[in-house]
C-alpha cells in the first residue's frame, strides 16, 4: 500500500473564477436596464457566491484529506472565516493533523447507516449528485476524545465510484492497524 491515500479535491481558484464570471454575466444582463442595476446585481451575485454559496458547500466541493504514515491531514474548515480564507487565498490553506494515537474509533456513515471494517462490503452507496448541496451524506467519522470529525467521501463517490470502496477499505484497515 502507498504511503499516502488521498480523498476529495484540493482547493483551487475555481470559486473565485466562477464567482466573478457569474457576477459579470448577471451584471451584463443588468446593463439592459442601466448601469446602477448592473453594478448592484454584479455585487449582489458576487457576495452571494463568495460569502454564502461557496463557504456553505466548501466541505463537499473541496473536502480534501489524506491518510499518511503518522496520521490524517485535512483542511482546516472549523469556522466561516477559515472557509472564506480558503476561498480567497487558496494557495495558503491550512491543514489540521490528527495522529493515530488521538483516534479512539471510526465508522463510515452512508445516508443514515453506519458501517465499520467488518460490514464495509455491504455498503451500496447512493449515486451522488453533480450539485454539492444535493449530495447524500457519505463520510468517514473519526471519534477523538469528546469530539467527532467528519471527512467527506461523497466527492470521490461521484467522480470515482468504482474505486472508492476499495480505497476506503484500505484506509479502514490501516486505521484499525494503527489505533489497536
Residue from 171, 149, 168 nearest 160 by CA: 168
Q: Model-level pTM? A: 0.82
Are residues 74 and 118 both part of a single domain?
Answer: yes
Are residues 50 and 87 both part of a single domain?
Answer: no
In this prediction, residues 166-172 reach a mean pLDDT of 85
Distance CA 31, CA 34 (A): 5
Give the pLDDT of residue 1. 45
All residues at 6 or more sequence positions from 45 whose CB lies less than 8 Å from its CB, including other chains: 19, 22, 23, 26, 27
Are residues 91 and 170 both part of a single domain?
Answer: yes
Q: What domain range includes position 160?
A: 5-10+64-179
Are residues 27 and 109 both part of a single domain?
Answer: no
pLDDT at 2 over 60: no
Exposure of 39 in the CB half-sphere (CA atoms within 13 A)? 3
Are residues 53 and 68 both part of a single domain?
Answer: no
Are residues 125 and 50 both part of a single domain?
Answer: no
Are residues 97 and 46 both part of a single domain?
Answer: no
Are residues 81 and 115 both part of a single domain?
Answer: yes
Selected residue with higher pLDDT from 66 and 123:
66
Q: What is the pLDDT of residues 99-118, one digit of tens each?
A: 998 989 888 888 887 777 77
Are residues 123 and 39 both part of a single domain?
Answer: no
Are residues 101 and 164 both part of a single domain?
Answer: yes
Maximum Cα–Cα distance for the chain, whole Å?
67
Are residues 72 and 116 both part of a single domain?
Answer: yes
How many domains would you assign to the chain? 2
Are residues 75 and 142 both part of a single domain?
Answer: yes
Lowest-pLDDT choice from 30-34, 41-45, 72-76, 164-168: 164-168
Amino acid at each position: 500500500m502507498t504511503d499516502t491515500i488521498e480523498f476529495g479535491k484540493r482547493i483551487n481558484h475555481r470559486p473565485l473564477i466562477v464567482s466573478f464570471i457569474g457576477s459579470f454575466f448577471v451584471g451584463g444582463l443588468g446593463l439592459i436596464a442601466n448601469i446602477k442595476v448592473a453594478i448592484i446585481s454584479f455585487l449582489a451575485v458576487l457576495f452571494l457566491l463568495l460569502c454564502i454559496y461557496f463557504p456553505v458547500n466548501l466541505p463537499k466541493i473541496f473536502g480534501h484529506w489524506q491518510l499518511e504514515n503518522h496520521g490524517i491531514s485535512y483542511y482546516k474548515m472549523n469556522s466561516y472565516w477559515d472557509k472564506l480564507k480558503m476561498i480567497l487565498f487558496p494557495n495558503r490553506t491550512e491543514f489540521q493533523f490528527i495522529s493515530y494515537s488521538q483516534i479512539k474509533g471510526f465508522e463510515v456513515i452512508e445516508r443514515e447507516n453506519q458501517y465499520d471494517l467488518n460490514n464495509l462490503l455491504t455498503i451500496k452507496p447512493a449515486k451522488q449528485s453533480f450539485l454539492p448541496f444535493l449530495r447524500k451524506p457519505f463520510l468517514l467519522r473519526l471519534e477523538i476524545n469528546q469530539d467527532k470529525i467528519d471527512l467527506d467521501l461523497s466527492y470521490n463517490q461521484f467522480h470515482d465510484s468504482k474505486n472508492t470502496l476499495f480505497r476506503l477499505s484500505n484506509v479502514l484497515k490501516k486505521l484499525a492497524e494503527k489505533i489497536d
